[in-house]
Structure 1
Amino acid sequence: MIGKKHWVIAEGYLPALGPKPDEPALRSHETACILNAGPLEAVIELTLYFADREPIGPYAIRVPARRTLHLRFDDLQTPQAVPRETDYASVFISTVPVVIQHTRLDARSGDLALMTTLAYGSD
């Protein structure tokens, strides 16, 4: 089985929208790219942790078997929208092994800056 059941993204920051907030592809965002290569659906709980407030979550995420999901943090609304311009960390707990990669698009200056890294996985 490919992947791990527990994943952590220790560095999280949802930048300000940028100069084109009405164009979703060009506004600043963070994404957790989740690969479920296995034969069973992944049911994932996501919790966000902050330096100065209580955690938010869990957010309920599902990734069908043998599929991928590019989960944008700015699309998360329940139980609460992810605050912009605030440091946070993310913990994902999945029912089956998955692989998670973290990507940020920062469009604040009008230019696009892209950063990506593999999250930390453990069981």
Structure 2
Amino acid sequence: MSTVVGKWKMAIADGCMPGDRLVLFNAGAGNAHVELTFCAEGGRPLGPFRVVVPPRRARFATLEELAGSGLPGRRVPYGVVVLSDVPVLVQHPADQDAPQARRSAA
């Protein structure tokens, strides 16, 4: 159950891998309260993990930074659901070493 009171939700389902960074950008005038829930195939969802992105700032996050231990294996792809109380831009930067299938736009 989400604790974010808001109206903005998105999902990235293009096969993010542990170690990949997500960039959260808040272009608004107030703090963005964001929840990230990571979903791996065959496993329980991880999260939600809560972060605050200050106004007109970017926040870089990896699954390892947010979850610590208890992660799926290094080669297990995951999707991520993003909830925010204000609109935020979420970017999954492409890894230059990654196979072409993983470099598709989110």
- Matched AA of 1:86: V
Higher normalized strand content (fraction of residues): 1
Q: Which residue of 2 aligns with 1:8?
A: 11
Greater Rg over alpha carbons, structure: 1
Distance change in 2, residues 1:32/1:61 (3 Å): same
Q: CA RMSD in A?
A: 2.4
- Check whether the contact 1:36–1:66 (CA below 8 A) recurs between aligned residues: yes
Q: Which residue of 2 aligns with 1:26?
A: none
- Check whether the contact 2:46–2:67 (CA below 8 A) recurs between aligned residues: no
3-state SS of 1:85 partner: coil
- Matched AA of 1:58: P
TM-score with structure 2 length normalisation?
0.74
Task: Point out where structure 1 has 5 or more consecutive residues left out of the alignment.
Answer: 16-28, 106-111
Q: Which residue of 2 aligns with 1:113?
A: 97
1:43 to 2:33 alignment: yes
- Matched AA of 1:41: N
- Matched AA of 2:34: I
- Check whether the contact 1:5–1:96 (CA below 8 A) recurs between aligned residues: yes
Runs of 4+ in 1 over 4 A off after TM superposition: 114-118
TM-score with structure 1 length normalisation?
0.65
Out of 65-74 and 91-100, give the one that drifted further: 65-74
3-state SS of 1:74 partner: helix
Distance change in 2, residues 1:81/1:102 (3 Å): farther
Q: Which residue of 1 aligns with 2:66?
A: 76
Q: Which residue of 1 aligns with 2:55?
A: 65
Task: Point out where structure 2 has 5 or more consecutive residues left out of the alignment.
Answer: 1-6
Tell me the percent identity. Answer: 32
In the alignment, the residues of structure 1 paired with residue 54 and residue 97 of structure 2 have an alpha-carbon distance, to the nearest angstrom, of 30
